[in-house]
Structure formats: structure tokens, C-alpha cells
Amino acid sequence: MSKYIAVIPRAAITRAALVEAGGRSMEQVKAACGCQYILNSWFYDTITGRPVGNLKIDGTVKAAAGWNGWGLTWDKGADIRLDILPDNGGASYLSGVELLTPTRGPGKALSYSPEYGSTRGRSAVLLAGARVILYCSGDGTADAKTPEGLRDELVTIGCRYDQAANLRALGLDAGSSSNCDFGDGQRISNGKRVKGYLCIWTTEDGTEEPPEKEESMGKYKVTPSIGVNIRSGPGTGYGKVGAYPCGAVVDVLEERDGWGRTDKGWVSLAYLEAVEGPQRVTDNGIAIQTYLIDQEADNRPGGSNPCKYITIHETGNAAKGADAVAHAAYLDSDAGKRDMVSWHYTVDDHAIVQHLPDYETAYHAGDGKDGPGNTTSIGIEICVNAGGDFEAAKANAAALVRLLMEEHGISADRVVQHNHWNGKDCPKTIRATAGAWEAFLALCRGETANVSKLDTDVDTLANVGIIDQPDYWKAGNYSKDTVEALIGKTADYVREDD
């Protein structure tokens, strides 16, 4: 790895200290002081070796810049903060490159010396609410960044824990000086012996998993000719932190109350237009059509859906022609808006139509506006229209489920019936047929290779009209009367053939 990020809860920090290396390597310093985290820290004159800027270690001033500026300071460790140095400094402090301060938000230009510029390895401390985040990337690697690139990445990381306007970050010595050891093999060391380190001690469980790269909810293009403001929170009451020009394409990472969070802050979704991606196709060859409900419609709630479950429904509409496209038209009609119902996909025997983005909530589970079915699951309706092939519709629905499971990392045990959320008898046909739900889940798991002879025989008889409800017969639980009826139908079929 060429980059490591340590996320440390403030409550777990027992001590923080600036430690002079005194010619020792990072490994020697860490072994001597016994800290859990070590990161290179202050800048120094490469000729004299003396620190530059403002530096104070355990009450002793080591360097005075002669000016005030933002820097990190603390008395014990858990109280680490960004403040004006040296005037408001505590027992220890150090200055660095001001990446995020109360006066320099995510969209503001940075100020730094030419030596700090270019694409290099980077070290930084990010303060995000109740967490202290240490960042280190290797010099000459794919993770090397410009100062602006570092700042932008820190904003993306920090927004998972606090609003962009509240984030504070200080850039530390960079390039070949970027060294760290965060434990468990998370170490970057090029052998350079820097002048000083930031060391942090924590309780035994004082760490969190570093954040993974956030999955984009979709790409959007800025439409107004004058561009769109980026704000520190989801609303016009939050301060401006920058702007996107017209035509800019951005990834929306979270949606809240009509606003979308990007890697630089929040923008109004009213000024963004979804960028069409390549058409999605299931593994059985069904291309997914898109017919989205109008964005301003009452039956499109627009909340953020983490996509933890997939909910299976049946439309209950047996009318001839009530296929997937017909239901798409209904959802986008005045009747659909009036009925306040919506779901993500409708599937029939030949088509799949999407009505809402997966990442939006819907009104399909019947467990209330804020119920987990509506807010955490993707709703799929299977058509039961007269003249349609229900078995083919189920197969197409299972193919869609397989695609969604792969796209969102949803396991098969989180594919549930509508009944799971509010007790409704839905999907009704599947629930009424012995073994049908288990057979459907098997299809969702892709278990189609090991089809039994019984299944094949049942399908053969169903295709010529001798039996109906093939799922019932595949389950293998028959009464004497049922078997006798089957024998009678088979005999009648043979006689007709004669």
C-alpha cells in the first residue's frame, strides 16, 4: 500500500506528543516511546535542521515564526484542535500548511511555498467532529497528490463524519519526509530520518476501520449557465464553499432533502441533470428500460436508500395488457401520484422497467414513510397479467435480483417478501404455492444448473397443459387425491392423442 489513513476516536486518545527524532529512525522513535500511531510532523530547514514556523513541545517553545497563523495545539491529546498560534496555543503546538480552517473552506485557494507544491507524498492531520484522522501517502506513488488534491480528498473523508464547514486540516512536512506507522503493517518508510514526529497513544480499542471509497449514487451534470454554488450543508442556510461551472459532471454521494453531497460539498439537485450511463442488461439478456417517475411527483419521496434489502411483490393486476410498461405509465400518471405508491422496478415475461433510481426511497412496503421497507429496500413488482407467462416473469425477476445483489452487495438472505415488512399477503401467487418462494430464491442464487429430473418432467407436463402450478409439483408434496387427478388428466391426454 502507498497510502494509509488512521481514524482515531477522540475519546480513545490518552496522550499526544511531538517527539524530536534526535537522529533516530521512525522505527526507533516508536519503539522507544511505545505509541500506537506515529507520523512525521513539523517542517524544518534542510540546511540547518532547525524547525520553521511555530513549534512548542511540552511547554518549551522550539521555534517562533514571528507571525500568527492556524496550527494544531493541545494540552493532553484528546483536546487537539486547530487554533491561532502562538497566541492561543496550549502546552504543545505546531504550524503547517493551512488546508482547512475557519477562514479557508473547501473551495478557497491555498497558500504555500513553492517547495510544498507539485505532486508528492503527503502527510496531514484532519479533525472531523469526534475523530482525529491521520493521513500519509508515499512519495513517487500513485497516491502522491498536489496540495489541492490532498485537501479535496480530506474533505471527502471528513464529510462522512461531519459537515464540510466544520472540518479542520493541517498539512505536515511532505515528499520523502512523509513517513508513518499506524500498526498492523500500515507503515510507509523510505529510510529518511526526519526531525520530528507526532505520536499518539490510545486505549486498546482506540481505532476504527479507515473509510472505504464511497460508492457514487450517480453522475450528474450542472445545467445553469452561471453554474451552481457548493455549500457546506444541504440547504441555502449553509455557507458557500465553492462553485461548479456549467457542464461540470459530478458524482453525488448522498441525497438529502433535495440536495446532493459531492466530494466538495452540497449542491441543489434542482440544478443537476442525471447523466445517462450504459444500459444495464441482466444475465439472461433482458435490457433494463428506464421510465422514471417525475422528480416533483408526490409519489417520489426522494430520500436516500442504502439498498440493504430487495423486496419482492406481485402487482395483483390480472388485467390483460397490465405489463411492465403499463405499470410505468401508471406510476407517472395522476392516478399513481394520487395513490402515493411507487417502487423501483416492474418485471413481466419480456421486459424490465425501472421507475426510480435504486438509491432513492419509495412507497412500496406499506410500513410507513420512514419504515425500513420503504427506506432501505429496492422494490420489485412481478406482473401477473392475463396472457402473460408468469414463470418467465419470475425468471426475469430473479435475473434482476442477481444483478442488484451484485451491484449493491446484497446477500440472498436479504431478498424478502413484501409480507416481511407489514404482513400483507404479497407476493400472493408465490406465497400460495408450496415451495414457490424457495424455488424463486434458488433462482436468485443462480441455482439453475442442477435441475432435477422431477423438475424437467413437471415442466414438460406443464408445457402441454396437463398440469398447472408447476412450483407445487416440483415441491414434491402431494395428496392421494391430487395424484389421482393427475393420473386422470394424463390418461385423458393420451386418449385424445389416439
| Each residue's pLDDT tens digit, 220-264 | 889 898 999 988 778 887 777 788 888 888 888 888 778 888 888
Stretch 307-333: mean pLDDT:
94
Domain-located, residue 279:
no
What does each C-alpha distance from 440 to 197, 365, 366 come to in angstroms?
Answer: 59, 19, 22
Cell of 262: 459531492
Tell me: do 320 and 405 sit in the same domain: yes
Measured in degrees and rounded to the nearest 5, phi and psi for residue 475 equal -70, -25
CB 385 within 8 A of CB 318: yes
Domain-located, residue 352:
yes
Domain-located, residue 283:
no
The string of pLDDT tens digits covering residues 155-168 is 888 888 888 889 99
Domain boundary among 202, 228, 257: 202
User: What is the radius of gyration, based on Cα positions, of the chain?
Assistant: 30
Q: Is the pLDDT of residue 449 over 60?
A: no
Domain-located, residue 82:
yes
The answer to whether the predicted template modeling score (pTM) of the entire model surpasses 0.75 is no
Tell me: do 439 and 464 sit in the same domain: no
Q: Say what the pLDDT of residue 279 is.
A: 77
CB 343 within 8 A of CB 380: yes
Peptide bond into 102 cis (omega under 30): no
The string of pLDDT tens digits covering residues 95-110 is 999 999 999 988 788 9
Q: Mean of the per-residue pLDDT values for the chain? A: 89
Report percent pLDDT > 70 for the chain.
95
Q: Say what the pLDDT of residue 448 is.
A: 58
| CA pair distance 251, 179, nearest whole angstrom | 31
Stretch 325-350: mean pLDDT:
94
Give per-residue burial for 273-307: e unless 16+ CB within 10 Å, then b.
ebeeeeebebeeebebbeebbeeebebbbbbbbeb
Domain-located, residue 77:
yes
Which amino acid would we find at residue 414?
A: R
Phi-psi region of 77 (alpha: psi -120 to 50; beta: other; left: phi over 0): left
| CA pair distance 155, 135, nearest whole angstrom | 12
∠263-265-270 over CA atoms, to 5°?
105
The string of pLDDT tens digits covering residues 255-291 is 877 888 888 888 998 898 877 667 789 999 999 998 8
Q: Identify the weakest region by mean pLDDT among 368-382, 392-406, 482-496.
A: 482-496
Give which of 127, 124, 132 is closest to 202, Cα–Cα: 132
If pLDDT is split at 50, 70 and 90, which confidence band does 209 have? Answer: low
Find the CATH number of the domain harbouring 330.
3.40.80.10
Give which of 374, 379, 385 is closest to 355, Cα–Cα: 379
Domain-located, residue 435:
yes
Strand partners of residue 358: none
| CA pair distance 149, 251, nearest whole angstrom | 16
Q: How far is CA 366 from the centre of its chain?
A: 26
Stretch 351-361: mean pLDDT:
91
Q: Say what the pLDDT of residue 14 is.
A: 95
Tell me: do 466 and 428 sit in the same domain: no
Tell me: do 322 and 222 sit in the same domain: no
Q: Say what the pLDDT of residue 492 is.
A: 78
Q: Is the pLDDT of residue 450 over 60?
A: no
Tell me: do 426 and 292 sit in the same domain: yes
Q: Identify the weakest region by mean pLDDT among 46-50, 201-205, 211-215, 381-385.
A: 211-215
Number of domains in the chain: 4
Q: Say what the pLDDT of residue 430 is.
A: 95
Give which of 406, 391, 410, 398 is closest to 472, Cα–Cα: 391
CB 334 within 8 A of CB 272: no
Find the CATH number of the domain harbouring 229.
2.30.30.40
Tell me: do 301 and 176 sit in the same domain: no
Cell of 331: 406510476
| CA pair distance 227, 476, nearest whole angstrom | 64
Tell me: do 334 and 397 sit in the same domain: yes
Longest pairwise C-alpha distance within the chain: 109
CB 151 within 8 A of CB 117: no
Q: Is the pLDDT of residue 150 over 80?
A: yes
Encode 356-388 in three state secondary structure. Answer: CCCCECCCCCCCCCCCHHHHHEEEEEECCCCCC
| CA pair distance 108, 32, nearest whole angstrom | 41
The string of pLDDT tens digits covering residues 172-181 is 999 889 999 9
Cell of 247: 457542464
Tell me which residue range forms the domain holding 414.
288-444
Domain-located, residue 341:
yes
Domain-located, residue 41:
yes
Tell me: do 469 and 382 sit in the same domain: no
Tell me: do 408 and 382 sit in the same domain: yes
Domain boundary among 232, 251, 274: 274
